[in-house]
Structure 1
Amino acid sequence: MHPRQLAAPAAALALALGLAACNGDPEPKVEDPPPSTSTSTLDPATSAPPTSEPTSEPTSEPPADETPEQFIRRFQAASSAMQSSGETQPYLDLTQNCQSCEDLADEVDRVYSAGGYVELGDELVRRIKRVGGVDGIAIMEYDLQIGPTTIFDSAGAAVDQFPGGTDRFQLNVRLEDGSWKVLRLNRLVDQ
């Protein structure tokens, strides 16, 4: 696959992959969220600045009583660490039969196994909210703001560069044996 097809996922988790459903199940029906559902946001004025260099290794071990919102931040940190390091397993450990997640990990494997690497721009997860749920699956949306990203080949030459921007994603997550798993990940298209 052409490196441009990795860059979009690197820049926005899956822009070029045209994220598809992670399993063959039909699209779940979205129920209205309960009235008490709140929207979580990360305030740049009161939060540490985002970085493409994780301050500590992301872990696939969930904290006690992790909320879906906390899990999304942990999942995105694992995605960023994967794209910055080429180590795909910690990211994949947070998924279950998610085809688009596996496709992204395969693209990262291809770049790094060919001697290339990714310099991922700063990321900021914003506006996480629950939009529905069905059969124990929480349907969540969040915005991902990402800075300029560059993909390099094995000789250190820039293969592709992307200016960055903000995209909205929808995930289906389920608590499995005390740990959240991503079952489906889609980039939402502006209407």
Structure 2
Amino acid sequence: MKQSVVPSQYLQIALDLATRIAKGELAEGSRIYGRSVMASEYNVSPETIRRALRLLADMKVVEVKPQSGAKVLSADSARRYIANFEEGADVHALRARLKDLLAESEQLSRSLTETVTALIKNRETFAAAGEPLPNYEVPVPKDSPLIGKSIGALKFWQSTGGTIVAIRRGQTVILSPGPYAELYAGDIIVLVGSPAAAEAAHHLVSAKE
């Protein structure tokens, strides 16, 4: 659905004049009313009329001469101006629609993050029957040799066969921690994998150097 785009006053006036010229209501060679008369007709300032006429003059629709007012030059140019204006309005509407879609995308992303966080906090959800890859929680002891080390340096997946999907740290949940994420004492590692992977992870965090 197209967005409703309202152009500036001088653009609306320029479009209206171009439409009247294209329809022959203002014939080629005829003079257009003075700025003061047009300002009264459109209920705008003379400066707004000047800007509208200047725009049409740039498009060779009218000719503006000091002290002489404006003269209609070409109905064909008026039709080209109308076509260009409509194309520009479509682009403006598409940009407005894109802005709305980006806002909707950001909201959707936030909703997805909140939902995943809630699922991770609720172990029973992940432990539901039939879950092909159940998750396990592995606490990091205060004396663990892993404290202060990054997931990448530990080669966690290679060592355990499990994938860390989150780290619970107090009331905070770190989703999909990257290889540079470090482990702290008291962290709860949430991993996905087999029971053997969970056992290997428990051994890894508890092993004495």
Same topology, TM > 0.5:
no
Structure having the higher Rg: 2
Bigger share in strand: 1
Higher relative contact order (CA closer than 8 Å, sequence separation 6+): 1
TM-score by length of 2: 0.21
TM-score by length of 1: 0.22
